[in-house]
């Protein structure tokens, strides 16, 4: 159960961070309304809270989250910005996820 909660928190945190960052990005880079910027900042603040629910310590959670962020960012770019990842993106993301699994879920004795 802890494993499923942890995965859920990683995914939601990733969507909050990427979604928030994306809204700030389009506010500033594409001259969208300030509402995009404020909405993005709110999502980013919520992102800052969510990792505190993870069972591991700060360093491990944020290091592992970096790998999840890589994968979610590529998926966001593909589905939202219509920029398909190439094979090197996928290979790199695969290595990152192996690192996440080892750091967060490998049994420690």
pLDDT, tens digit, for every residue of 52-90? 998 888 888 889 889 999 999 999 999 998 999 999 999
**Domain range annotation of the chain:** 2-105
The answer, as to whether pTM is greater than 0.75, is: yes
Residue 39 has pLDDT above 80, yes or no: yes
3-class SS at 86? coil
Which ranges constitute the DSSP H helices of the chain? 2-29, 34-49, 58-79, 87-105
pLDDT at 44: 97
CA distance 69 to 66: 5
pLDDT at 71: 95
């Amino acid at each position: 159960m802890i494993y499923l909660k942890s995965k859920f928190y990683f995914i939601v945190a990733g969507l909050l961070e990427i979604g928030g960052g994306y809204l700030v990005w389009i506010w500033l880079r594409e001259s969208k309304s300030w509402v995009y910027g404020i909405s993005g900042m709110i999502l980013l603040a919520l992102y800052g809270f969510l990792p505190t629910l993870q069972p591991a310590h700060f360093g491990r959670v944020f290091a592992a989250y970096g790998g999840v962020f890589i994968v979610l960012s590529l998926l966001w770019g593909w589905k939202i910005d219509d920029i398909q990842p190439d094979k090197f993106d996928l290979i790199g993301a695969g290595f990152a996820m192996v690192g996440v699994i080892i750091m967060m879920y490998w049994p420690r004795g």
